[in-house]
Amino acid sequence: MQNKIENNRLNIPYFIIDGLKNIVSFNLSTAGDIKLSLLEPPQIGQSFVDIIPQEQASYISNIIDKCLSGRTIIADNDIASKIIKTHFKFQFLFIPLSINTTSHYAACLIIPNAYQPDSQFSNYDYSSLASHGLRGPVSNILSLSNYDNYPQLKSYEALKIKSLLKNIYAQAEKLNDVIVSLNYLINNDKAAFAEDTNIEKFMVSNLVLVDDDPLVNKMHKMLLKKYHANIAVIDFNSPQKALEHIAVHHTELIFLDINMPEIDGWEFLSRLKKHSLKAKVIIVSSSIDPAEKNKAYLHDCVKDFISKPLTREKLNKLFLENA
């Protein structure tokens, strides 16, 4: 694993810990004002417990054991405050990560306490972390491990791969459930996120995919080719190039991501309106934040808001079969 997750927009410091409680990945380069009372600078392969001050080591070790067994745990505030030295209130959040039945990891996130009035982070930051920072890669895993998305293979090796993908998918679903629950708690004063608002089905001959992640575009294009082969699909990793294409071609429908660098989904929608481009838009995002969904529907061109990953069932709810 990489020591630093690229495009970590909220700059959350973290450790990834394996079943032996050794560090397999970490990011402290963007910790800012956070000072950790560690016995020594962390190293890949080093025991996470060994770098924790002795007074808190036993407690942290016990939490890691529980996390590795599948529990999500927030460390005691008093103990966390003895490890994290800062004028803001921060917490250790331990989230289980299971690749399969034998490979288990604990993710330790160092996050601000959203419920403290002096926190530099707001509930929006937490919601954005849940919807984009965590659900983004999880939705990719769900999409990649959904065997139904691939051509049907019947060889012995294919059956082994199918079994492995099912295990990965099951674990990713569990993590996704944790993220959805976290987002619900963050947004408990808002309407629950739902995807059943679309009341029309589309019959289109062409579609443009706009997502800065090439993997997402590839998976979505594969799904559309498999289940709606009559629709011509063009994908763009660059929102600017997508806008240039839409300006000179008759584009009927756009699948649009929100969380993109330089030109995000909101700016993209504003430019569509500014240049009087009439294509209809389906937001396809990792977001499960009701506030973002409500914001999307303020744009007349937005006809639906779908959370990743795309599936055959979600596509069938969108499209009429072309004659």
**Dist. CA 133–CA 112, nearest whole Å:** 15
Q: What is the pLDDT of residues 251-273, one digit of tens each?
A: 999 999 998 888 999 999 999 99
Domain parsing of the chain, residue ranges: 14-114, 206-318
Which class would CATH give 14-114? Answer: alpha beta
Buried-exposed string 216-227: b where 16+ CB fall within 10 A, e elsewhere: bbebbbbbbeeb
Which DSSP helix (H) or strand (E) runs through 282? strand 280-285
pTM assigned to the model: 0.51
Residue 9: what pLDDT?
A: 39
Per-residue pLDDT of the chain (323 residues; tens, 9 = 90+): 333 333 433 457 888 999 999 999 888 765 555 567 777 788 899 999 998 888 888 999 999 999 998 888 888 877 777 787 665 567 788 888 877 667 788 888 887 654 444 444 444 445 555 555 555 556 666 666 665 666 665 565 666 666 666 666 666 666 666 556 555 555 554 445 555 556 578 889 999 999 998 888 988 998 899 889 999 999 999 999 999 999 999 999 999 999 888 899 999 999 999 999 989 999 998 887 777 888 899 999 999 999 888 888 889 889 876 43
**One-letter amino acid of 104:** H
Residue 267: what pLDDT?
A: 95
222 within 8 A of 149, measured Cβ to Cβ: yes
Residue 170: what pLDDT?
A: 65
66 within 8 A of 17, measured Cβ to Cβ: no
Q: Which of 282, 305, 301 is nearest to 292 (CA)?
A: 305
| Share of residues in the chain with pLDDT > 70 (%) | 64
Q: Is 2 helix (H, G, I), strand (E, B) or coil?
A: coil
Residue 235: what pLDDT?
A: 96
- Residue at token pair 């059943």: 196
303 within 8 A of 283, measured Cβ to Cβ: no
- At the fourth CATH level, which superfamily is domain 206-318? Response regulator (3.40.50.2300)
Residue 236: what pLDDT?
A: 97
Please give the DSSP secondary-structure letter assigned to residue 40. Answer: S
